């Protein structure tokens, strides 16, 4: 009998750092302040905390490490280098998701060659079956997708999906997937600024979202089938939420979220889906089939303690045989996610 009271492993979570070397400013809706320089300091402090106080096996970074404004100020490379130097201080593996802001700054080819691709190997390699080896299939790697899976402990698997597989960002406009995204947006969003959701067919049909291709969905389904055969519990992670109840912002949702939910609902091995993108986060929703959909708060918008705020936003998650325990810092609230 499995001892469900025994801690199996722990990992850290942080999202939407969106570092930029610029003055603080309001978000696009003019409702929340963004602390661009402080976000890098918060990352550094979180890593120092994990290194000194926790035995985390890996760090899960849910996307948007750098702000889109870096591209406009021609500081993308400089700011990204600072981020990579900070992540390098972490004494463990870093599992990166790609968000829209990475793709505002860099091409997929550039990101594949960066530290944000997490040293992914091909699934056919012998070492891919070992703990903490990030693996994907050759077709997805050739297509420059940031989607892979890894096992931090026997009985558990993490699957990272690329929510901007089909999107308007990261590829040349003539690329078939860019054309597909452009055609989708031209049908669904008549606005001149397609980041504006007003008049769109649905609020999430905006340019800063994206979708999974049929190719990636087939890979996800195959990966989950393999996990079911091994009796593994699976946590899926992507930058964009895939459940409408897991985001307070109706605009922050995967274009084809229904397709992804259908895959998740048909595989009982999935216990949770983790996302960022919606900076206010604070949405932890359990679907009728027992899957936890958690959208984590952005560290970019964590109000400094000197201004009466919580200063930071990151979490350590402890995994047991029957649950995950979220121990939040700053804006991220603590909680317990029991497995179905």
Q: What is the pLDDT of residues 40-83, one digit of tens each?
A: 999 999 999 999 999 999 999 999 999 999 999 999 999 999 99
Using CA atoms, how far residue 210 sits from 72, 84, 191, 226, in Å, is 22, 25, 17, 26
Predicted confidence (pLDDT) at residue 1 exceeds the cutoff of 70: no
Tell me the pLDDT band of 239, cut-offs 50, 70 and 90. Answer: very high
Higher pLDDT, 71 or 3: 71
**Alpha carbons 66 and 76: distance in angstroms, whole number:** 8
Closest among 258, 286, 268, 260 to 227, alpha carbons compared: 268
Tell me the pLDDT band of 126, cut-offs 50, 70 and 90. Answer: very low
pLDDT at 246: 92
The phi, psi pair for 317, rounded to 5°, reads -115, 125
For strands 9-14 and 313-319, give the pairing: antiparallel
Taking only the tens place, the pLDDT of each residue in 283-309 is: 778 877 899 999 999 999 999 999 999
Angle, helices 214-229/257-265, rounded to nearest 10 degrees: 20
Q: Does some domain include residue 139?
A: yes
Percent of the chain at pLDDT exceeding 70: 97
Using CA atoms, how far residue 188 sits from 157, 176, 182, 197, 260, in Å, is 36, 18, 10, 10, 20
pLDDT at 129: 55
pLDDT at 127: 57
Q: Does some domain include residue 2?
A: no
Q: Does some domain include residue 4?
A: no
Closest among 279, 278, 252 to 197, alpha carbons compared: 252
Please count the CA atoms within 13 angstroms of the CA of 7 that sit on its side-chain side: 12
Predicted confidence (pLDDT) at residue 128 exceeds the cutoff of 60: no
Taking only the tens place, the pLDDT of each residue in 246-295 is: 998 889 999 999 999 999 999 999 999 999 999 998 677 887 789 999 99
Q: Does some domain include residue 240?
A: yes
Predicted confidence (pLDDT) at residue 323 exceeds the cutoff of 80: yes
Tell me the pLDDT band of 119, cut-offs 50, 70 and 90. Answer: confident
Task: Look up residue 52 and give its two tokens.
Answer: 């000194």
pLDDT at 125: 65
Average model confidence (pLDDT) for the chain? 94
Q: Does some domain include residue 216?
A: yes
Q: Does some domain include residue 3?
A: no
Which residue range(s) make up the domain with 261? Answer: 9-338
Taking only the tens place, the pLDDT of each residue in 159-173 is: 999 999 999 999 999
Number of domains the chain contains: 1
pLDDT at 307: 96
- CATH number, position 83: 3.60.21.10
**Alpha carbons 213 and 219: distance in angstroms, whole number:** 10
Q: Does some domain include residue 117?
A: yes
Q: Does some domain include residue 1?
A: no
Stated pTM of the model? 0.96
Tell me the pLDDT band of 130, cut-offs 50, 70 and 90. Answer: low
pLDDT at 288: 77
**Alpha carbons 89 and 59: distance in angstroms, whole number:** 12
């Amino acid at each position: 009998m499995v001892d469900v009271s025994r801690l199996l492993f722990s990992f850290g979570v942080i999202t939407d750092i969106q570092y930029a070397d610029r003055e603080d400013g309001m978000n696009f809706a003019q409702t929340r302040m963004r602390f661009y320089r402080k976000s890098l300091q918060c990352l550094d402090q979180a890593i120092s905390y994990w290194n000194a106080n926790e035995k985390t096996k890996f760090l899960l970074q849910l996307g948007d490490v750098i702000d889109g404004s870096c591209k406009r100020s021609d500081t993308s490379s400089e700011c990204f280098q600072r981020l990579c130097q900070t992540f390098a201080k972490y004494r463990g593996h870093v599992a990166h998701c790609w968000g829209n802001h990475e793709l505002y700054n860099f091409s997929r080819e550039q990101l594949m060659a960066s530290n944000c691709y997490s040293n992914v190997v091909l699934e056919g390699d012998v070492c891919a079956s070992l703990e903490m080896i990030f693996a994907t299939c050759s077709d997805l790697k050739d297509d420059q997708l940031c989607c892979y899976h890894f096992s931090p402990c026997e009985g558990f698997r993490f699957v990272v999906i690329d929510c901007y597989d089909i999107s308007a960002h990261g590829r040349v406009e003539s690329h078939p997937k860019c054309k597909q995204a452009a055609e989708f947006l031209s049908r669904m969003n008549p606005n001149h600024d397609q980041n504006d959701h007003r008049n769109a067919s649905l609020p999430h049909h905006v340019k800063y979202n994206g979708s999974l291709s049929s190719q990636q969905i087939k890979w996800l389904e195959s990966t989950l089938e393999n996990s079911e055969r091994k009796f593994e519990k699976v946590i899926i992670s992507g930058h964009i939420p895939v459940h409408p109840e897991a985001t307070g912002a109706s605009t922050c949702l995967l274009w084809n979220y229904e397709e992804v939910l259908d895959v998740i609902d048909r595989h009982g091995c999935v216990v949770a889906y983790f996302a960022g993108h919606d900076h206010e986060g604070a949405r932890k929703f359990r679907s009728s089939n027992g899957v936890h959909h958690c959208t984590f708060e952005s560290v970019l918008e964590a109000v400094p303690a000197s201004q009466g705020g919580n200063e930071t936003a990151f979490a350590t998650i402890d995994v047991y045989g029957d649950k995950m325990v979220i121990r939040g810092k700053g804006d991220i609230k603590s909680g317990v996610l029991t497995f179905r």
